[in-house]
């Protein structure tokens, strides 16, 4: 009978195996220690609310917090499609678009940091960054709304 198969598993490890295990554990611990600082970046949490309209990875228009609260609209054209963006009370949306799928219009109002509405045929993104009033808590967020509309 082969004596090696009956040995305890860790006795079969070589020094290189142990070194790799130690490196993996050390990197894991370092990432765990660094993660809270990366997740709670104070500069992002205190950034004032703004909406960006992006076409082909270029910001073509920015709506600052003061305009988002007062309300208004903005019309533009991208890749042959016409868009009507409306905003009020710190929220923004695609109100009208003549793109074929209308996913951007059906996405609805955006009001929280990181929310995005996209029109793929027109290569357009409507993106919210920051928080209303630059506060840490976003009281206007509702969690019963869909995150994504898929057709």
The pLDDT value recorded for residue 48 is 83
Residues 130/144, Cβ–Cβ less than 8 Å = no
Q: Cβ distance 132 to 89 under 8 Å?
A: no
52-84, pLDDT tens digit by residue? 999 999 999 999 999 999 999 999 999 999 999
Read out DSSP for 20-74? HHHHHHHHHHHHHHHHHHHHS-HHHHTPBPEEEEEETTEEEEEEEHHHHHH-EEE
Least confident of 12-16, 32-36, 42-46, 57-61: 42-46
CA 27 to mean position of chain CA atoms:
26
Percent of the chain with pLDDT over 90: 51
At 14, is the pLDDT very low, low, confident or very high (cuts 50, 70, 90)? Answer: confident
DSSP 100: S
Do 111 and 143 touch, CB atoms closer than 8 A? no
Contacts of 65 (CB under 8 A, 6+ apart): 48, 49, 50, 90, 130, 132, 133
Dist CA 150 CA 91 (whole Å)? 22
How many helical (H) and strand (E) elements, i.e. helices and strands, does the chain have? 5, 7
């Amino acid at each position: 009978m082969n004596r090696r198969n009956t040995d305890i598993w860790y006795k079969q490890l070589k020094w290189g195996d142990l070194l790799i295990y130690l490196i993996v554990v050390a990197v894991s611990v370092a990432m765990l220690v660094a993660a809270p600082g990366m997740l709670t970046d104070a500069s992002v949490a205190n950034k004032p609310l703004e909406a960006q309209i992006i076409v082909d990875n270029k910001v073509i228009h920015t709506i600052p917090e003061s305009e988002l609260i007062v309300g208004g609209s903005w019309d533009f054209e991208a890749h042959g499609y016409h868009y009507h963006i409306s905003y009020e009370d710190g929220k923004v949306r695609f109100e009208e678009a003549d793109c074929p799928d209308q996913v951007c219009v059906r996405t609805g109002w955006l009001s929280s940091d990181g929310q995005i509405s996209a029109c793929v045929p027109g290569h357009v993104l409507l993106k919210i960054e920051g928080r209303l009033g630059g506060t840490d808590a976003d009281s206007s967020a509702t969690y019963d709304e869909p995150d994504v509309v898929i057709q």
